Amino acid sequence: MEPAFVLHRWPYQDSSLLVELLSAQQGRFRVIAKGAKRPKSKWRSILQPFTPLLVQAKGRGELLTLSAAEASDQAMNLQGHALYSGFYVNELVQRLTTPHQAIDELFHDYHETLSMLAQASHVEPVLRRFEWQLLCHLGHGFDWHADDQQQPFLAEQTYQFRPERGFFIAAPNALENSAAETPLNPYSATEFLMSGADITRIAAFEQLDQRLLNLLKRIMRSALQPYLGDKPLRSRQLFTQFKDKS
């Protein structure tokens, strides 16, 4: 049996579930959990997101059959913002990874992120760190400690960011175009200006004030956009509804 987490599940036929799992050995994959909807099924209560599992599946092709599953620990205690953040993390993994693409480090970072969300008083730095880790595991990461010329950031220098390039020194015309703007206002859909000092501060993903949290969020949204595309994230919509009600 191998460690795994449920990313999502759907009803399947009359009494079964279609379950999408993430494991270290197989990456993201789907299984049929036969009879899991029945009241007396031993799988009914444990095949839930955020519960550490040990699973075994059999079969050939993309869709396997779950043959064994048990909880290896108590479910993560995610509530409020942390719960919706967990759904967001799950959706990112579903949207950005390839089925049966085993990435051992990703499973470790995913597990660690859920643990941090369960304990964190502020979820945003935890989410931003995982977004960056996920991009790195998929080969789309960027350097937080040097620009595109592998030069350390200069505190007073002004930089731009592009997903495919990372951070680079802002061109003179960028500075001219933004002369009437604040440094954090965009002059295009994906590019904006920031100081080297700010980049250095946010590189640790912790102890950030709201201005730096907003900058970090914009950088990561820009970095994710080419890979997420235009289809909206369901978890973001749910989180917005939750905030409106709270």
pLDDT at residue 191 tops 70: no
17-46: pLDDT as tens digits? 999 999 999 999 999 999 999 999 999 999
Taking the CA atoms of 162, 168, 170 and 173 in sequence, report the sign of the dihedral they define.
Answer: negative
Quick one: what percent of the chain has pLDDT higher than 70?
Answer: 89
Confidence of residue 230 (pLDDT cuts 50, 70, 90): confident
Please enumerate in sequence order all residues whose Cβ is within 8 A of that of 110, keeping only pairs 6 or more positions apart, or say none. Answer: 5, 22, 89, 93, 130
What is the fold, at CATH topology level, of the domain defined by 78-246?
de novo design (two linked rop proteins) (1.20.1440)
What is the fold, at CATH topology level, of the domain defined by 2-71?
OB fold (Dihydrolipoamide Acetyltransferase, E2P) (2.40.50)
Give SS3 for 209.
Answer: coil
Of 233, 38, 220, 228, nearest to 141 (Cα)? 220
Confidence of residue 233 (pLDDT cuts 50, 70, 90): confident
Task: Give residue limits of the domains in the chain.
Answer: 2-71, 78-246
Residues 67 and 32: their CA atoms lie apart, in Å, by 9
Q: What is the pLDDT of residue 177?
A: 58
- Strands laid side by side in the 194-195 sheet: 166-169, 158-162, 194-195
Contact (CB, 8 A) for 49 and 6: yes
116-144: pLDDT as tens digits? 999 988 999 999 999 999 999 999 999 99
Confidence of residue 245 (pLDDT cuts 50, 70, 90): low
Confidence of residue 216 (pLDDT cuts 50, 70, 90): very high
Burial of 185 (0-12, 13-18, 19+ CB in 10 A): exposed
E strands along the chain, which residues? Answer: 2-12, 16-23, 27-33, 53-58, 63-71, 158-162, 166-169, 194-195
Helix axes 124-137, 210-228, angle to 10 degrees: 30
Region 78-100 average pLDDT? 95
Q: What is the pLDDT of residue 234?
A: 83
Region 62-76 average pLDDT? 95
Residue 232's alpha-carbon distances to 74, 92, 141, 190, in angstroms, are 32, 11, 22, 17
pTM: 0.89
Residue 131's alpha-carbon distances to 28, 83, 84, 124, 184, in angstroms, are 17, 17, 15, 11, 21
Please enumerate in sequence order all residues whose Cβ is within 8 A of that of 19, keeping only pairs 6 or more positions apart, or say none. Answer: 6, 8, 9, 10, 30, 31, 32, 33, 36, 47, 66
pLDDT at residue 241 tops 80: no
Contact (CB, 8 A) for 222 and 193: no
Confidence of residue 229 (pLDDT cuts 50, 70, 90): confident
Q: 22 has which bridge partners?
A: 5, 28
Please enumerate in sequence order all residues whose Cβ is within 8 A of that of 34, keeping only pairs 6 or more positions apart, or say none. Answer: 15, 16, 65, 66
